[in-house]
Amino acid sequence: MLLKKIVEELGLQVKVAGEGLTNQVTGAYVSDLLSDVMANSKEGELWITLQVHPNIIAVATLKELSGIILVNSRQPEEETLKKAEEEQIPIITTELPTFQLAGRLFNLIGEC
């Protein structure tokens, strides 16, 4: 499913997109530990986290993730937004808690 469709269906707020809204989403990975995401996420997945610092962009780029969703009304730091624009990594926010977002996302795209 295209990231743009997920954003529309779930009412998410795009902070940085570039051409990333056309990314194909193959699933999702939920974690707040960078080392866990580096070890276990897969290319094309959306990363759901509450981390807002610039290092999340480095991890998303390394793992070729389709985007990052920040939960609980968390807002990315300015440096994070700059790096996301440079690397073309979509940053999306939601007021939803992690559990609710993950459930809605699963219902939308199912098992991949």
Provide the token pair at 54: 């610039």
pLDDT at 31 over 60: yes
Q: Which residue range(s) make up the domain with 46?
A: 3-109
Provide the token pair at 33: 């530990």
24: DSSP letter: B
**What average pLDDT does range 56-84 have in this prediction?**
98
CATH assignment of the domain containing 81: 3.40.1390.20
pLDDT at 1 over 80: yes
Provide the token pair at 100: 């609710």
pLDDT of residue 7: 97
pTM comes to 0.95
pLDDT of residue 63: 98
**What average pLDDT does range 64-74 have in this prediction?**
98
Number of structural domains the chain divides into: 1
Predicted confidence band of residue 18 (pLDDT cuts 50, 70, 90): confident
Across the beta sheet with 91-93, what order do the strands follow?
A: 13-16, 91-93, 67-70, 45-49, 27-30
Residue 98: count other Cβ atoms within 10 Å of its Cβ.
17
Q: Which residue has the tokens 């779930």?
A: 10
pLDDT of residue 110: 79
pLDDT tens digit sequence for 36-50: 999 999 999 999 999
pLDDT of residue 111: 61
d(CA 55, CA 77): 11
d(CA 41, CA 92): 18
